[in-house]
A and B are shown apart, each in its own frame.
Chain A
Amino acid sequence: MGSRSSHAAVIPDGDSIRRETGFSQASLLRLHHRFRALDRNKKGYLSRMDLQQIGALAVNPLGDRIIESFFPDGSQRVDFPGFVRVLAHFRPVEDEDTETQDPKKPEPLNSRRNKLHCEFVRTCTNAFQLYDLDRDGKISRHEMLQVLRLMVGVQVTEEQLENIADRTVQEADEDGDGAVSFVEFTKSLEKMDVEQKMSIRILK
């Protein structure tokens, strides 16, 4: 216990981060440990290079985009709170939160549903940003094509890929503007239990 608290003290603003992101003390420690391991020169922040060092990330087709998501607005470094904030998107939903935090709420079920909905929107936002490269709030056909190109790999020819991209956009596109807006995007995800699929157990 003693070592734990001493470790916790190492994390700057540990408490506020925890409050903000909802991570438990243990996982925060774990993340901090990881953060320091990734930070090669003990700079106190991570650069893109640091993340690109992770071997498996290099082979991941979306690796670059994931790395980008750690560096919002073109910044070159991410500090620990920023790091944790990004990872918090992948924290699973917890029922206990609602019970402990809102004991007065008359309908816990409803609040859970609300919570789930928030979670859903949050997850969608998160995923949406991976598609929407130019941040215009729409996934254009071009952006879709880029993602598809990453995902599908070499087995499919370019023109087939374009067909797929067209079809994908058209499928989700409801207002006919040739692009997938955020609302349309969430609609296409509604059937998928996203909030479950987009969380990692270890980040509880």
Chain B
Amino acid sequence: MLRAALSLLALPLAGAAEEPTQKPESPGEPPPGLELFRWQWHEVEAPYLVALWILVASLAKIVFHLSRKVTSLVPESCLLILLGLVLGGIVLAVAKKAEYQLEPGTFFLFLLPPIVLDSGYFMPSRLFFDNLGAILTYAVVGTLWNAFTTGAALWGLQQAGLVAPRVQAGLLDFLLFGSLISAVDPVAVLAVFEEVHVNETLFIIVFGESLLNDAVTVVLYKVCNSFVEMGSANVQATDYLKGVASLFVVSLGGAAVGLVFAFLLALTTRFTKRVRIIEPLLVFLLAYAAYLTAEMASLSAILAVTMCGLGCKKYVEANISHKSRTTVKYTMKTLASCAETVIFMLLGISAVDSSKWAWDSGLVLGTLIFILFFRALGVVLQTWVLNQFRLVPLDKIDQVVMSYGGLRGAVAFALVILLDRTKVPAKDYFVATTIVVVFFTVIVQGLTIKPLVKWLKVKRSEHHKPTLNQELHEHTFDHILAAVEDVVGHHGYHYWRDRWEQFDKKYLSQLLMRRSAYRIRDQIWDVYYRLNIRDAISFVDQGGHVLSSTGLTLPSMPSRNSVAETSVTNLLRESGSGACLDLQVIDTVRSGRDREDAVMHHLLCGGLYKPRRRYKASCSRHFISEDAQERQDKEVFQQNMKRRLESFKSTKHNICFTKSKPRPRKTGRRKDGVANAEATNGKHRGLGFQDTAAVILTVESEEEEEESDSSETEKEDDEGIIFVARATSEVLQEGKVSGSLEVCPSPRIIPPSPTCAEKELPWKSGQGDLAVYVSSETTKIVPVDMQTGWNQSISSLESLASPPCNQAPILTCLPPHPRGTEEPQVPLHLPSDPRSSFAFPPSLAKAGRSRSESSADLPQQQELQPLMGHKDHTHLSPGTATSHWCIQFNRGSRL
């Protein structure tokens, strides 16, 4: 029967698709007996048709969206149903037979799960649980109410003689019909409400109801169906009890299955760090397994998948990589949209098949009126009860939208198709009625709900960007409310949520999240992170030019100190972004060329991007390597973002800085003196550089994964290193000095203005441990110089000059660093740490003349040479004034 249609629908396309494959064969002279042309339609028929239908649906979608006007007025679901009707008509006319209908099996096993998974996974869980009471009421009580009243009213209608007598149905049949027609359909609701944008509460209530009522629908349907099959006479009282009990079994069982799979899923993704590529697959597989398992046990499969998605999201999102997250998101949306499209189209096609249905005006009209009426009545009654308990009552407008938004859809249709005609003689009438109801709700109500919402001025959802304040305040409020509930002694919603969150934090998250993910898992931090990324993106979008800020770095000291240039923003942006931090620090006494070299170097390393490199052609099935373009883009992005962040950080320090303005001059003078002193000792000067100890810190947030990821990250990072030289030294003497100061003897580089501002900068405070700087995005090499006496004198200045600071100074204990290490024997290259590699700036290396030849000019240096290894940081001495050269480069992997 498929063949007939194929010849007309699929042939042209199929032929077109196969032609290219034949051509290569044709030139060769085929020996006799070998077919030149073999038509193997049957081997590919089924998948081919599936693909074809999806293609048709997708193309239709594209066509619909060509016109903005149409889609803004008419919901897509309507258009698809209409398209389905047309296509169905064509198929019917051509094949003389209805083809390609919505099969219940296909629907429940393949089309429904993606939609439900999508909605469960992306359900705003907070909102959902906040409104859980209302949602459950509407889903359970509302659906029961709808089913019984509709069924009973229809039966009454029949008793009254308004339904033609040829509809042979008893009370049970009508109840069965009522149970399948009463449930609000998630697919239809989602399709329509997504375009309407009502406020979140309203949406979550209607949508949550449509998801959760599945359990009730399934139970009612099954119970009624079995009652009908048993015959009303054989139904015992215990059967009713069993029916009630099965409601709990089905719903709670379904939810339990979902949660178990959510647990498994979260647990599995905890261990996927080496096989990132299968993470998205796991999400889909386990969710689908949850669906099938629930279906197998005849529990509520929709509930299972919803709970699975809802439950696993938090942990899965934390565990899987960023790319996997994107993949999951897009794949899920694609599948859901695809399934939805196909469902509506097939619904349209199925309606054409007149052999399936029989029309009875009384039944159809009666059903339409009753479902609308009872839905509205039910909503009003339940809302009235709910409003007694709700903090924010649902007003009348909400109720209207809720009543009107009770759309019926494919679930009802699939269920009615599943009826057994021998047991339910009126099946054909029911099918017709269901089709009409579905079409009416989707098309008429779907079309009118948008104007209605506009007309009633329903509160729309305001989509505003998350702000840190908001996030913070929301958390604070939660805690405040929980605390107040404690004080009042009422264990209410907030109390239990607080409890749950504590439990989750203590046990569940620890169990289900990888340690690294768990550690950085914090919503406020998340928002912060996202905001920064967004800022960075918008900054890049606005054409934030990388070199523009670098340009500012060229002016020499005097201009720096001029009033105009002292804006901390500028200074910090420059120093922070590493573009030019050490400009004015360059020793003026020394040869001009050195200085120029240093300037140029810093300018270049800060402002220029890495040259493109050839990449190993790696085709791994397990890792996706980015292409060069992507890398370059990422690099641009990172630099811009960093600059952005720095400027952002810096703005707050304005006041601080102006107070300490006089300082740079002073320190500068002192520095000159010292520099001169140093200059007299050329050797010492050369050494200065060697005694810098480097600490290489890999600061990926996922430290735990360093080992395993090392190969990967190396691959990713070695070319794209942006290194940013940055002077971040501190004088941190316990209890005494709160200020910080930078002294970098060997290149004689002093950062512009070591002020309170800098001290407060985060990378400094993070250096408490061995100058261990931990941030999620950067890796640093921190060479440390020691100049005790020098620093002490500076520190006295510092204490004078640095403005009072609210905060207690962050005290660092640096590990012992014998001063003996100031000898030049420290090897330049310690390839001890292969994963983060770094080349010291060539010009700087030149400054340390004694050894520049060995390293400075090596081209590879730019890429891979680890300057100093981990071990070096053990040389730092405690309590001595230290100056750090922080060289940081980005790790792209986080972005």
A binds B: yes
Using CB atoms and an 8 Å cutoff, list the residues of chain A in contact with chain B: 30-31, 34, 37-38, 51, 54, 56-57, 59-63, 66, 70, 87, 90, 92, 127, 130-131, 140-142, 145, 147-148, 151-153, 155-160, 162-164, 166-172, 178, 188-189, 191-194, 196-203
Q: List 8 A-B contacts (CB under 8 A).
A: A38-B489, A59-B502, A62-B476, A145-B807, A160-B776, A167-B532, A167-B648, A201-B390
Q: Decide if B538 is an interface residue (CB 8 Å cutoff).
A: no
Residues facing A in B611-668 (CB within 8 A) are 648-649, 651-652, 654-655
Complex Cα gap A157–B522 (Å)? 11
Q: Contact: B469 with A200, CB < 8 Å?
A: no
Q: Contact: A171 with B481, CB < 8 Å?
A: no
* 16 further contact pairs, Cβ within 8 A, besides A155-B521, A170-B651, A197-B477: A30-B488, A34-B488, A56-B482, A59-B502, A60-B498, A61-B479, A62-B483, A66-B480, A66-B484, A66-B487, A92-B391, A127-B476, A157-B775, A200-B484, A201-B389, A202-B485
Complex Cα gap A56–B481 (Å)? 12
Complex Cα gap A158–B494 (Å)? 29
Q: Decide if B705 is an interface residue (CB 8 Å cutoff).
A: no
Q: Contact: B483 with A159, CB < 8 Å?
A: no
Question: How far does the Cβ of B886 sit from chain A's closest Cβ, in whole Å?
Answer: 13
Question: How far does the Cβ of B879 sit from chain A's closest Cβ, in whole Å?
Answer: 21
In the complex, residue of chain B having the shortest beta-carbon distance to the beta carbon of A70:
B487
Question: How far does the Cβ of B33 sit from chain A's closest Cβ, in whole Å?
Answer: 73
**Interface of A: prevailing SS:** helix
Q: Decide if B29 is an interface residue (CB 8 Å cutoff).
A: no
Q: A127-B480, A141-B652 in contact; A155/B519 too (CB < 8 A)?
A: yes
Question: How far does the Cβ of B486 sit from chain A's closest Cβ, in whole Å?
Answer: 5
Question: How far does the Cβ of B479 sit from chain A's closest Cβ, in whole Å?
Answer: 4
Q: A59-B502, A167-B468 in contact; A200/B762 too (CB < 8 A)?
A: no
B480-519 toward A: CB 8 Å interface, digit per residue (1/0)?
Answer: 1111111111101011001100100100000000000011
Complex Cα gap A15–B474 (Å)? 35
Q: Contact: A168 with B468, CB < 8 Å?
A: yes
Question: How far does the Cβ of B559 sit from chain A's closest Cβ, in whole Å?
Answer: 25
Cβ-neighbour of B485 out of A127, A160, A200 (below 8 A): A200
Q: Contact: B492 with A54, CB < 8 Å?
A: no
Q: Contact: A167 with B481, CB < 8 Å?
A: no
Residues facing A in B445-485 (CB within 8 A) are 462, 464, 467-470, 472-477, 479-485
Question: How far does the Cβ of A127 sit from chain B's closest Cβ, in whole Å?
Answer: 7
Question: How far does the Cβ of A17 sit from chain B's closest Cβ, in whole Å?
Answer: 15
Q: Decide if B297 is an interface residue (CB 8 Å cutoff).
A: no
Q: A160-B762, A171-B469, A188-B469 in contact; A90/B476 too (CB < 8 A)?
A: no
CB-defined contacts of A148 to chain B, threshold 8 Å: 472, 524
In the complex, residue of chain A having the shortest beta-carbon distance to the beta carbon of B469:
A188
B548-575 toward A: CB 8 Å interface, digit per residue (1/0)?
Answer: 0000000000000000000000000000
Q: Contact: B522 with A191, CB < 8 Å?
A: no
Q: Decide if B784 is an interface residue (CB 8 Å cutoff).
A: no
Q: A54-B486, A159-B765, A159-B766 in contact; A171/B806 too (CB < 8 A)?
A: no
Question: How far does the Cβ of A130 sit from chain B's closest Cβ, in whole Å?
Answer: 7
Question: How far does the Cβ of A72 sit from chain B's closest Cβ, in whole Å?
Answer: 15
CB-defined contacts of A163 to chain B, threshold 8 Å: 528, 649, 762
Question: How far does the Cβ of B502 sit from chain A's closest Cβ, in whole Å?
Answer: 6
Complex Cα gap A148–B532 (Å)? 18
Complex Cα gap A191–B470 (Å)? 8
In the complex, residue of chain A having the shortest beta-carbon distance to the beta carbon of B489:
A34
CB-defined contacts of B172 to chain A, threshold 8 Å: none
Q: Contact: B765 with A62, CB < 8 Å?
A: no
In the complex, residue of chain A having the shortest beta-carbon distance to the beta carbon of B762:
A159
Question: How far does the Cβ of B780 sit from chain A's closest Cβ, in whole Å?
Answer: 12
Complex Cα gap A172–B467 (Å)? 9
Cβ-neighbour of B775 out of A127, A159, A178 (below 8 A): A159
Interface residues contributed by chain B, number (CB under 8 Å): 65
Cβ-neighbour of B468 out of A140, A171, A202, A203 (below 8 A): A171
Question: How far does the Cβ of B652 sit from chain A's closest Cβ, in whole Å?
Answer: 5
Q: Contact: A199 with B391, CB < 8 Å?
A: yes
Q: Contact: B488 with A156, CB < 8 Å?
A: no
Complex Cα gap A90–B488 (Å)? 11
Q: Contact: A90 with B484, CB < 8 Å?
A: yes
Q: Contact: A156 with B520, CB < 8 Å?
A: yes
Q: Decide if B49 is an interface residue (CB 8 Å cutoff).
A: no
Complex Cα gap A59–B391 (Å)? 26
Q: Decide if B546 is an interface residue (CB 8 Å cutoff).
A: no
Q: Contact: A155 with B483, CB < 8 Å?
A: no
Complex Cα gap A200–B487 (Å)? 12
CB-defined contacts of A191 to chain B, threshold 8 Å: 462, 464, 470
In the complex, residue of chain A having the shortest beta-carbon distance to the beta carbon of B468:
A168
CB-defined contacts of A37 to chain B, threshold 8 Å: 489
Q: Contact: A164 with B468, CB < 8 Å?
A: yes
Complex Cα gap A200–B389 (Å)? 11
Q: Contact: A188 with B470, CB < 8 Å?
A: yes
Q: Decide if B774 is an interface residue (CB 8 Å cutoff).
A: yes
CB-defined contacts of B519 to chain A, threshold 8 Å: 155
Q: Contact: A200 with B481, CB < 8 Å?
A: yes
Q: Decide if B525 is an interface residue (CB 8 Å cutoff).
A: yes
Complex Cα gap A199–B391 (Å)? 8
Cβ-neighbour of B522 out of A60, A153, A197, A198 (below 8 A): A153
Complex Cα gap A146–B476 (Å)? 12
Q: Decide if B282 is an interface residue (CB 8 Å cutoff).
A: no
Complex Cα gap A127–B492 (Å)? 21
Q: Decide if B763 is an interface residue (CB 8 Å cutoff).
A: yes
Q: Contact: A60 with B648, CB < 8 Å?
A: no
CB-defined contacts of B532 to chain A, threshold 8 Å: 167
Q: Contact: B484 with A159, CB < 8 Å?
A: no
CB-defined contacts of B474 to chain A, threshold 8 Å: 192, 197
Q: Contact: B479 with A202, CB < 8 Å?
A: no
CB-defined contacts of A155 to chain B, threshold 8 Å: 518-522, 525
Residues facing A in B649-694 (CB within 8 A) are 649, 651-652, 654-655
Select the residue from B487, B488, B524 with max chain A CB neighbours within 10 A.
Answer: B487
CB-defined contacts of A166 to chain B, threshold 8 Å: 648-649, 652
In the complex, residue of chain B having the shortest beta-carbon distance to the beta carbon of A64:
B483
Q: A34-B489, A155-B520, A203-B488 in contact; A188/B494 too (CB < 8 A)?
A: no
Question: How far does the Cβ of A108 sit from chain B's closest Cβ, in whole Å?
Answer: 14
Complex Cα gap A56–B491 (Å)? 10
Q: A148-B524, A156-B522 in contact; A60/B762 too (CB < 8 A)?
A: no
